Amino acid sequence: MNGPALKTALPGPQAKALIERDAKVVSTSYTRDYPLVMARGEGALVEDVDGNVFLDCTAGIAVTSTGHSHPDVVQAIIDQSKKFLHMSGTDFYYEPQVRLGEELSAIAPMPGPHRSFFGNSGTEANEAAIKLARYYTKRQNIIAFFGAFHGRSMGSLSLTASKLTQRRGFAPFVPGVFHAPYANCYRCPIGLNPDTCAAECLRFIEEQLFVHLVHPEDVAAIVVEPIQGEGGYVVPPNLFHERLREIASKFGMLLIVDEVQSGMGRTGKMFAIEHTGVTPDVVTMAKGIASGLPLGVMTSRSEIVSWPPGTHASTFGGNPVSCAASLATLKLLRDSLVKNAEVVGTHMFAGVKALMDKHSIIGDVRGRGLMIGVELVRDRQTKERATTERDRVVHECFRRGLLVLGAGQNAIRLSPPLVLTTAQADTAIRILDEAFSSVRP
Ligand SMILES: Cc1ncc(COP(=O)(O)O)c(C=O)c1O
């Protein structure tokens, strides 16, 4: 497959027909930003039902880490499918789940021994982490952050504080969740200068939360994304995570890092928290862990994951086919793709950053590896959010054969498959350049 290469106006006739059928039977809650109807994929390329080929800088929301339908992953899925599809790893034993537990223990970003809990999605991994933290510490409360996204089931949703639509109409939430400011240094929540600041937004936790609202010894865990994903690809300074670790350790809370979006090699290290040198107590994973098959995992130290039988489980969690896909994915990540994310990511970051000289609409470019955010503003001085312009840029990219997604109110996220080549990164940058030119604030 070569591309991008467009054959029809978008959406083409086949795509239009399918979108009409979709509108009648599929939940209206999904956010489709543009009419892409997928037919097949290969590496970082996607072909739609009308034969148009797109360069994919979404990876299906950071999921297809090894590219679309990587042959090794497909083979692993076929091999496992021929043996058995399901037996429930919560009631019985099978090797792929055990082996995956062993391999995750080998790469976990904290000292072992470890045990893993297997679910089907990011939100389930986080639900498991929340429940484990309450059970283990015998405390009720959780600290999360403004701008965070941890999922949409009720426990995770109670921690999520990204877009209001995600919460509005769904209260009451799980009680005992307190939100604190995240270190978004481009828009410092307390108006300080990042060059001289020592993660002072965290003083809110110690000087406000712990004084007025909740005793620190009643807090089970701090849950944090190493890099905020859905919230706008916000990269905090390392000191932010270091100080969180100090607070958690000082008061006996668990530090839970949600690596659902930032993990599995995307940032040029297996886990984004590894860039900071901070050791968490619990890590949650999903998305890129199985190249597209549903799998969510929570890993922690064995002494913490020692809850008795029956306390938590999932019928489908740790499905053997998903585990097989994950084992093949981890091998590819280790062998070359984590490195590729670093190398191509560095190249892509520089290319996107250089666009700032031409396009004043770009307020900030940030990220690590192939997790790159571009924040759009109407004015670099006032930083007024270019919200509608962001949506238009996303559309203009689509019209030119590049798939990107928004993040936060006014950022674009670049989260391609980790097989992206330097040449493909250059193509993406060229199309972004054109898209920015067509959208002036
Ligand atoms: C950081 C983070 N945590 C959790 C989730 C929820 O994952 P899922 O949609 O698989 O439930 C997401 C999804 O975007 C995410 O980005």
What tens digit of pLDDT does each residue of 426-437 get? 999 999 999 999
Helices and strands in the chain, H and E counts: 13, 15
pLDDT of residue 194: 86
Beta-bridge mates of residue 282: 256, 300
Contact call for residues 71 and 315 (beta carbons, < 8 A): no
| Nearest of 168, 166, 169, 132 to residue 150 by alpha carbon | 166
Does the pTM surpass 0.95? The reply is yes
Contact call for residues 363 and 375 (beta carbons, < 8 A): yes
Contact call for residues 213 and 219 (beta carbons, < 8 A): no
Q: From CA 42, how far away is CA 56, in angstroms rounded? A: 10
pLDDT of residue 196: 86
Expressed in angstroms and rounded, the spacing between residue 156 Cα and the centre of ligand 1 is: 9
In which residue are the tokens 């896909």 written?
325
Ligand 1 pocket at CB < 6 A: 61, 121-123, 126, 149-151, 225, 229-230, 258, 260-261, 286
CA atoms within 13 A on the CB side of 334: 10
Expressed in angstroms and rounded, the spacing between residue 130 Cα and the centre of ligand 1 is: 14
Tell the residue nearest (CA) to atom 4 of ligand 1. Answer: 150
Through-space distance between the first and last CA atoms of the chain, rounded to whole angstroms: 36
The pLDDT tens digits for 116-157 are 999 999 999 999 999 999 999 999 999 999 999 999 999 999
- Can you tell me the mean pLDDT for 310-335? 98
Residue 195 CA, distance from chain mean position: 27
> What are the structure tokens assigned to 383, written together?
């930083």
Expressed in angstroms and rounded, the spacing between residue 347 Cα and the centre of ligand 1 is: 27
Expressed in angstroms and rounded, the spacing between residue 44 Cα and the centre of ligand 1 is: 21
The pLDDT tens digits for 397-408 are 999 999 999 999
Which atom of ligand 1 lies at the shortest distance from residue 152's CA?
A: 11
Residue 370 has pLDDT above 60, yes or no: yes
Q: From CA 37, how far away is CA 34, in angstroms rounded? A: 9
The pLDDT tens digits for 41-82 are 999 999 999 999 999 999 999 999 999 999 999 999 999 999
Residue 441 has pLDDT above 70, yes or no: no
Expressed in angstroms and rounded, the spacing between residue 233 Cα and the centre of ligand 1 is: 13
Expressed in angstroms and rounded, the spacing between residue 356 Cα and the centre of ligand 1 is: 30
Which atom of ligand 1 lies at the shortest distance from residue 286's CA?
A: 10
| Nearest of 422, 411, 405 to residue 58 by alpha carbon | 405
366 by DSSP, 3-state: which?
strand
Using CB atoms within 10 Å of the CB of residue 181, give its burial: 0 to 12 exposed, 13 to 18 middle, 19+ buried: middle
Which atom of ligand 1 lies at the shortest distance from residue 259's CA?
A: 1
| DSSP 8-state assignment for residue 377 | B
Using CB atoms within 10 Å of the CB of residue 24, give its burial: 0 to 12 exposed, 13 to 18 middle, 19+ buried: exposed
Expressed in angstroms and rounded, the spacing between residue 121 Cα and the centre of ligand 1 is: 7
The H or E element containing residue 209 is none
Count Cβ atoms below 10 Å from residue 25 Cβ, excluding itself: 6
Residue 291 has pLDDT above 60, yes or no: yes
Expressed in angstroms and rounded, the spacing between residue 123 Cα and the centre of ligand 1 is: 6
Tell the residue nearest (CA) to atom 7 of ligand 1. Answer: 122
Expressed in angstroms and rounded, the spacing between residue 31 Cα and the centre of ligand 1 is: 15
CATH architecture of 71-333: 3-Layer(aba) Sandwich (3.40)
Contact call for residues 36 and 399 (beta carbons, < 8 A): no
pLDDT of residue 298: 98
Q: Are strands 405-407 and 411-414 parallel, antiparallel or unpaired?
A: antiparallel
Expressed in angstroms and rounded, the spacing between residue 259 Cα and the centre of ligand 1 is: 9
Q: From CA 36, how far away is CA 49, in angstroms rounded? A: 9
pLDDT of residue 50: 98
Residue 334 has pLDDT above 60, yes or no: yes
The H or E element containing residue 394 is helix 387-399
Which atom of ligand 1 lies at the shortest distance from residue 151's CA?
A: 6
Which atom of ligand 1 lies at the shortest distance from residue 230's CA?
A: 16
pLDDT of residue 24: 98
Tell the residue nearest (CA) to atom 8 of ligand 1. Answer: 122
Tell the residue nearest (CA) to atom 3 of ligand 1. Answer: 150
Residue 31 has pLDDT above 90, yes or no: yes
The pLDDT tens digits for 154-201 are 999 999 999 999 999 999 999 999 999 999 999 999 999 888 888 899
Residues 6+ apart with CB under 8 A from 183: 199, 201, 202, 234, 236, 237, 240
Expressed in angstroms and rounded, the spacing between residue 330 Cα and the centre of ligand 1 is: 19
Identify whether 194 is preceded by a cis peptide bond (ω within 30 of 0).
no
Q: From CA 406, how far away is CA 410, in angstroms rounded? A: 7
Top CATH class of 13-70+336-438 equals: alpha beta
Which atom of ligand 1 lies at the shortest distance from residue 148's CA?
A: 1
Mutation pick for ligand 1 pocket among 127, 230, 271 (CB with most ligand atoms within 8 Å): 230
Contact call for residues 229 and 261 (beta carbons, < 8 A): yes
C-alpha radius of gyration, the chain, whole number: 21
The pLDDT tens digits for 202-226 are 999 999 999 999 999 999 999 999 9
Q: Are strands 53-56 and 402-403 parallel, antiparallel or unpaired?
A: parallel
Q: Where are the domains of the chain?
A: 13-70+336-438, 71-333
Mutation pick for ligand 1 pocket among 31, 166, 285, 287 (CB with most ligand atoms within 8 Å): 287
Mutation pick for ligand 1 pocket among 58, 118, 145, 149 (CB with most ligand atoms within 8 Å): 149
